[in-house]
């Protein structure tokens, strides 16, 4: 089954560039709490700890990481709220 691409309306951006542990994961959790089921959050972070922290949080919280991209600025996560 193909994954659906979120529309602009269902897609939110959280810029955590320059923030360090534990702020990227805390802000991600707070922003995900505001979203409706099915919406996605794009998180930008440059803290090396953000990847393991956000992965662990998503697993614990039951949210779905659709994509993790390593960019020249740091990391880009695409997370879908599934519950």
Is 64 within 8 Å of 35 (Cβ atoms)? no
Q: Could you tell me which of 50, 42, 52 has the C-alpha nearest to residue 76?
A: 42
The residues that are catalytic are: 21
């Amino acid at each position: 089954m193909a994954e659906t691409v979120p529309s602009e309306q269902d897609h939110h951006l959280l810029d955590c560039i320059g923030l360090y542990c534990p702020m990227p994961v805390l802000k991600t959790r707070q922003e995900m709490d505001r979203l409706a089921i099915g919406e996605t959050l794009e998180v930008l972070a440059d803290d090396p700890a953000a990847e393991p922290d956000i992965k662990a949080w998503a697993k614990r919280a039951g949210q779905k990481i659709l994509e993790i991209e390593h960019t020249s600025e740091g990391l880009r996560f695409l997370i879908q709220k599934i519950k």
